Amino acid sequence: MQAKQLSVFIENREGRLDEVLAVIKAANVNILSLSLADTSEYGLLRLIVSDPAKADAALKANGFSSMLTDVLVVRLMNKVGSLQAFLSEIAKTEINLEYMYGLTIEKEGKASLVIKASDFSKASEILLKSGAELLSAEDIAKL
């Protein structure tokens, strides 16, 4: 089960992030999580939002370079060793984890994170065997 992540390339200059967020707000799309990485010239903003297609269209209509990417959104028990147990199993395979970042920590003792893996089906299988849950776009929108 894959989810859609919105990725936006932005110039690394004052106010540009605010402009991106204003477009998403004007489109009435909720931001659930984000990750921002930068270099001296540009930034890569990765977002999990309530309506990825709508946000992508709004950004493109306003001159931003954006794209939708498939990612896994994983819910694990929020306890010592849960993430390491999953990563240990991944390390035994040919799967490359390109990046990951946190999404939520829930009252029920669970935590969710976003993962970009080179092999979604194998990573999904390992996650499910380790007791993790994979969240759908509908699940994410309810967070």
| 89-120: pLDDT as tens digits | 888 888 999 999 887 777 777 888 899 999 98
| 41-63: pLDDT as tens digits | 888 999 999 999 999 999 999 99
pTM over 0.85: no
**What domains are defined for the chain?**
3-69 (3.30.2130.10), 71-141 (3.30.2130.10)
Distance CA 87, CA 99 (A): 12
**Distance separating the N- and C-terminal Cα atoms of the chain:** 17
